[in-house]
Amino acid sequence: MSDAPIVNEFNQGPISCHAFNGDRTELAICFNTNVVSIFRKSGASWTQTSTLAEHDKPVTSVDWAPRSNRIVTCSQDRNAYVWTLDGATHQWKPTLVLLRINRAATFVRWSPEEDKFAVASGSRCISVCYFEEDNDWWVGKHIKKPIRSTVLSLDWHPNNVLLAAGCADMKARVFSAFIKGIDKKPAPSPWGEKLPFNTVCGEFSNGSGGWIHSVAFSPSGESLAFTGHDSTITVVSPGTGDVQSIRAPFLPYLSVIWLNESQIVAAGHDCAPHLFELKGQQWAFSASLDAAVKKADVGFTARDTFRRMDSRAQSATSTDTEVHTQHQNTINSIRPFSGTPGHVEQFSTSAIDGKLIIWNAHSISRGLGNLHL
Amino acid sequence: MAFRKIDIDALEEDAFGEDEIEFQEIGELRPLSDVEAEVNSRAQEVRSLLQRGNTSGALTTALQNPPYGAPYHAAKARNTQTVMEAVISVKVVDMAQVAKGLSPEEQDVLMKYLYAGMAAPEQYNSGHLLSFHEKLTEVAGQGCIVRVITDRRTV
């Protein structure tokens, strides 16, 4: 396995969200439109096999349940669909979900057991959806209090009951999404013991304001990491009462995942995934995972110099406008690609530049000395 | 584009308004007299440190516990003046060193005051503030500027 990141260019516009199937041979991706495209891996490239076209406003989020092979999509049109593959025709069939929201849906994720999913929305609530056998229908139950603004991101706790939400009211919260008849009573955890639906198990702020863009439970579920628009990453561990906010010197992070219990990767407006590590008891920024090699100036002549000065009002020495990272624009989503939840080996990032890049996490520990900003 | 002028929050019964955001970020406000007394005593302290030539000490002291909240208009202006006195006394060659000596929290607060100072060019020397801004950005990064923009606790 080569250490170099695998860059997939689709050239179909900005990527708003992406999700892989269980064995990573298929990819659901949305190019900021109302359709989701399904690609199948063929050799080194991806071939489009079908489209999921049922939404009539841009799709905001997609998630693929790895074991039950179902896709869920949500959109600004306030709807969510569960897509199942028809074995005979090999067509994806949509089922509408009753979300009962009056603003755009922003984010969707399957629970670890794949028997529920949660949809975040602009109507200040989270719709926790489950299949009701009696009515043969997906229904949603709302988590409302005390959310004061749009919910921007979600993450499920490994116990299938707790749900973390990052919100535009500058708070990250942990809720119970316990559904009677579906969930078994969860074992007590640092987040709480008695967990009826909508219990608020924690409410956290990052200190200097800003929307919470992304939330992620650690693999064990003992800690929660969240990133805000104030360029901070906060890690809270209710078991020890530890709350650490790292003020990063970079632009805000839009997405965050845990590689393992002591490594976090975050990416966003700086166009590169950044690694944060737990050293002793202290979380700290460690390295950018994008080597950010400066491209050599090709054909650098006096004529080019004058042309540059003419077109961009820049002298030859100023190359500040170039982005030297692999991604050429804001990264909006990071997802684990290979490995297990506590030991992620590869992860994928999608960005507004229309690229999907698969990064090797294992090269981090080995080549950390060579990496620099 | 008339629709852009419609205040859609007015139609919402339970809007997440400025007052609530400010309360959430700042918390319970302290009595005005307390805040003013604190700001005035800090001004004295900073001035005496400056007289003894301890510029970095004066700056650190000036950046502690700034007054946040809408009612403290006068106290905020007074505190900005105190910080600016300390900032102006830092020589351009020392700026990078002084910025490095501040904690991340203090760097964020200093950035807030640099912008507040630049908002009043008739009062404070913008050229000096701009060079401090450059040096501070080199030390604390763009994240520091982003935090000034997002933070509701304005100075």
| B107 located within any domain | yes
Kindly state whether residue B36 falls inside one of the protein's structural domains: yes
- The residue out of A308, A324, A340 marking a domain boundary is A324
Residue B39 within a domain = yes
Residue B33 burial class via C-beta count within 10 angstroms: exposed 0-12, middle 13-18, buried 19 and up: exposed
Does residue A202 sit in the same domain as residue A342? yes
Residue A228 at interface with chain B, using a CB cutoff of 8 Å: yes
**pLDDT tens digit string along B129-155?**
999 999 999 999 999 999 999 999 999
pLDDT tens digit sequence for B82-121: 999 999 999 999 999 999 999 999 999 999 999 999 999 9
Q: State the residue range of the domain holding B22.
A: 11-150
B109 touches chain A (CB under 8 A): no
Whether B111 is in a domain gets the answer yes
Interface contacts A/B by beta carbons within 8 Å: 59
Does residue A198 share a domain with residue A128?
Answer: yes
- 8 A C-beta contact, residue A123 and residue A147: no
Domain count, chain B: 1
- Indicate if A141 and A221 belong to the same structural domain: yes
For position B24, which CATH number holds?
Answer: 1.25.40.190
A118 found inside a domain: yes
What's the rounded Cα separation, in Å, for the pair B138 and A268? 20
In a domain, residue B4? The reply is no
- pLDDT score at A124: 95
A1 part of a folded domain: no
- My answer on whether A307 and A231 are in the same domain is no
Nearest CA-CA distance, residue A208 and chain B, Å = 5
Instruction: Write the residue in B25, B104, B105 that is nearest to A209 by C-beta.
Output: B25
User: Given CB atoms, is A111 within the 8 Å cutoff of chain B?
Assistant: no
B146 reaches A (C-beta below 8 A): yes
What would the two tokens of residue B13 be? 């019964």
Q: Is residue B5 part of a domain?
A: no
Q: Do A208 and B16 touch (CB under 8 A)?
A: no
- The DSSP element (H or E) to which A37 belongs, if any, is strand A35-42
Q: Give yes or no: residues A113 and A39 share one domain.
A: yes
For residues A217 and A314, membership in a common domain is answered with no
Mean pLDDT of B66-79: 94
Chain B residues whose CB is inside 8 A of the A249 CB are 140-144
What is the rounded distance in angstroms from the CA atom of residue A289 to the CA atom of residue A273?
Answer: 6
Nearest to A272 by CA among A373, A147, A345, A188: A373
User: Tokens in use for A104?
Assistant: 């755009």
On whether any CB of chain B is under 8 Å from the CB of A221, the answer is: no
Same domain membership, residue A227 and residue A188: yes
Whether A62 and A136 map to the same domain: the answer is yes
Same-domain pairing of A304 and A192: no
Cβ pair A187, A226 in contact under 8 A: no
Residues A13, A32: contact at Cβ < 8 Å?
yes
pLDDT given for residue B19 in this prediction: 85
Q: What pLDDT score was predicted for residue A371?
A: 46
Structurally, chain A folds into a number of domains equal to 2
Judgement on whether residues A93 and A150 belong to the same structural domain of the protein: yes
The domain of A310 spans 300-324
Q: Give this prediction's pTM.
A: 0.91
* Residue A278 covered by a domain: yes
Q: Which of B25, B141, B151 sits opposite A249 (nearest CB)?
A: B141
Residue B117 inside a domain? The answer is: yes
Walk along chain A (373 residues) in steps of 10 and give the mean pLDDT of each run.
Answer: 84 96 97 97 94 97 97 97 95 95 97 97 96 92 96 97 97 97 93 95 91 97 97 96 95 97 96 95 93 60 72 61 88 96 96 96 58 44
Based on the domain organization, do A70 and A99 belong to the same domain?
A: yes
